[in-house]
Homo-oligomer: A and B are copies of this chain.
């Protein structure tokens, strides 16, 4: 067994096929006919390629300025975190499907993870993402400086999840929480609910704003009062107060809040949806809640589609946005108000 045979270079192929390196380059890039290289020569080159197991070195290729049909996937945390196993999975499925369709390979940036489990785009001031033609970014990221820098450098990327960084144009695909939330309020109103509360944590992040807006719009549509609660403590006392206030349905921003709510209800001998309809707006996984369905697969596909479009059109401003419809919650924990 010869073992570590050196990787074949273009020059080797050229030598074996008895042609020049330029010819090899033309052939492997499918510019054979275009450049007017005779079919026979093409075949000779391909035979040599086959014999040597030649594959173009992507580093050299992209150094020379051409694309390497590599799309990066960068997550700001471990891509397969143990605790929320399938959060990224569906996104990835969509990303992969579209990559297959568009003939791209995917680079999962794993090397960028530090000891905290955080992944940074820039390490030692270097941008590892630059290895890929463009990248899909996803995950909850606290600081936006990396994003801003990436955009400033003109690196093509699409963020999964609506994202704005002041003074920067960022392309993203997002889920249309606003419309979905609005519709949910409408549905609750149609069921007879007159006082629908909205509960959210004290940590007011950008991504929450559109859900609030949707809630407000929904209330306006149905002529309902806006009952916003910003809290991280949904205890039995809160339930008592809400009950006294005539609240019969609650939109919970996230799953932990909803869990607290259900526990608090239980402590008062109540249950959802009999005594209170409960809708969770964002869940990590598809679970037993009445929750909005995040179109993860579609978002992944959409991100790749947008990215390849950006890569194709060279003059794109890179501030494209695409909102995908959320699935509406099933009736699991939704019912008519207690009369």
Q: Which residues of A are in contact with B by a Cβ distance under 8 Å?
A: 1-5, 7, 28-30, 46-47, 49-50, 52-63, 68-70, 78-80, 85-86, 89, 92-93, 96-97, 99-100, 103-113, 122, 124-131, 149-150, 152-155, 169, 314-318
Contacts and interface: CB of A to CB of B under 8 A. Distances in A.
Contacts of A99: 108, 110-111
A2 B154 contact: yes
Contact of A30 (B111, B124, B131): B124
What are the 7 A-B residue pairs with the smallest beta carbon separation, nearest first? A55-B130, A53-B153, A50-B125, A5-B154, A59-B62, A106-B108, A59-B63
A7 B130 contact: yes
A104 B110 CA distance: 6
Given A60-B63, A107-B107, A315-B4, A55 B96 contact: no
Contacts of A1: 169, 317-318
Contacts of A29: 124
A92 B80 contact: yes
Given A69-B111, A131-B105, A125 B4 contact: no
Contacts of A62: 59, 131
Given A55-B128, A126-B56, A111 B103 contact: yes
A52 B125 CA distance: 10
Given A59-B61, A100-B113, A106-B107, 7 more contacts: A54-B127, A55-B153, A59-B130, A80-B96, A96-B110, A99-B110, A105-B131
Contacts of A131: 55, 57-59, 62, 68, 70, 105
Nearest to A80: B93
Given A28-B125, A126-B28, A130-B57, A314 B4 contact: yes
Contacts of A124: 28-30, 46
A257 to B, nearest CB: 29
Contact of A108 (B58, B105, B129, B315): B105
B96 A105 contact: no
B55 A122 contact: yes
Contacts of A61: 59
A96 B108 contact: yes
Q: Which of A50, A59, A149 has the most CB of B within 10 A?
A: A59
Given A130-B59, A149-B53, A46 B125 contact: yes
A21 to B, nearest CB: 16
B57 A63 contact: yes
Nearest to A150: B53
B111 A100 contact: yes
Contacts of A30: 124
Interface centre among A5, A80, A129 (most CB of B within 10 A): A80
